Amino acid sequence: MGIIGWIIFGLIVGVVAKFLTPGRDPGGFIITIILGILGAVLGGYLGRALGWYQQGDPVGFVVAVIGAIILLVLYRLIARRTA
């Protein structure tokens, strides 16, 4: 998947993660994309560490969303402490 594909996938994952975790977010559109991409990477890493995926297998959408939700919650906690 090319860089544009990862950005689009990250956008979709980030939007779904924001939808599933209601509340005010300190970030905007760019933060949503970044959290989505990082969530997909985190989900892929955790999935492989737990044995759900093997190296080179594509990360599942659900696991990517879970990773993005985790990052979104952590981001909210950190942003509240610094504000």
- Render pLDDT for 43-80 as a digit per residue (tens, 0 to 9): 777 777 888 777 666 667 788 888 888 888 888 888 87
Structure pTM? Answer: 0.75
Angle between the 61-82 and 3-20 helix axes, to the nearest 10 degrees?
Answer: 70
pLDDT tens for each residue of 2-23: 667 777 777 888 888 888 887 7
Give the whole-angstrom CA distance, residue 17 versus residue 62. 10
